[in-house]
Amino acid sequence: MAGESTGAAAGRGDRNRAILHGVSLSPFVRKVRAVLHLKSIDYDLVNVMPGGMDSEFLEKSPLSKIPVWQEGGWTPPDSSAICAYLERVKHAPALYPSDPREFAQALFWEKYADTRLNESGGGLAAFIETMDENEVLHALVEEDRAAMASV
Ligand SMILES: N[C@@H](CCC(=O)N[C@@H](CS)C(=O)NCC(=O)O)C(=O)O
């Protein structure tokens, strides 16, 4: 489950706990959060808005994009890189197929969703349509609501 904190508060938290930098409005952040949820990996969510990146964050994200994952001083950017890493460090439940050809196809569909579908606004539409039906996304929305209620 995600803890919620601001950038400033994050430095005071448990330094062993991983951090996801970004905001849930981003489909790329949501993709990583869905993987974290399905794999039951604990982390803190540090809110970074696309237009509000400070120099400290930009050092972690050379392409000026969210999300960025952080474990101590190790800060890989890019949702696909982060998801591939998480799949390797916590294999179960497996979210990518083990069959090499099916794996290649899954990577293509991930890229398709991240590029063409996202650019056309379809990613967001698909997200909104499935929001109430999809257990994982529903859990993330409930977490966001709870976090916002406490602000
Ligand atoms: N390929 C990147 C794309 C991430 C991305 O485009 N994030 C957007 C937010 S949805 C962003 O940070 N945009 C800020 C900008 O382009 O300045 C990934 O998968 O993480």
The 10s digit of each residue's pLDDT in 66-106 is 999 999 999 999 999 999 999 999 999 999 999 999 999 99
pTM over 0.85? The answer is no
- How far, in Å, from the CA of 29 to the mean position of ligand 1? 9
**What is the Cα Rg of the chain in Å?**
15
pLDDT above 70: residue 41: yes
Q: How far is the CA of 2 from the centre of ligand 1 (A)?
A: 21
* CATH number for position 53: 3.40.30.10
80 lines ligand 1 (CB under 6 A): yes
Between residues 10 and 53, the one the model is more confident about:
53
CA of 64 to the centre of ligand 1 (A): 7
Bond from prior residue into 62 cis (ω within 30 degrees of 0): no
Using the structure block, give the residue that is written with the tokens 């398709």. Answer: 112
Identify the domain containing residue 28 by its residue range: 2-149
Q: Would the pLDDT of 6 be above 90?
A: no
Number of structural domains found in the chain: 1
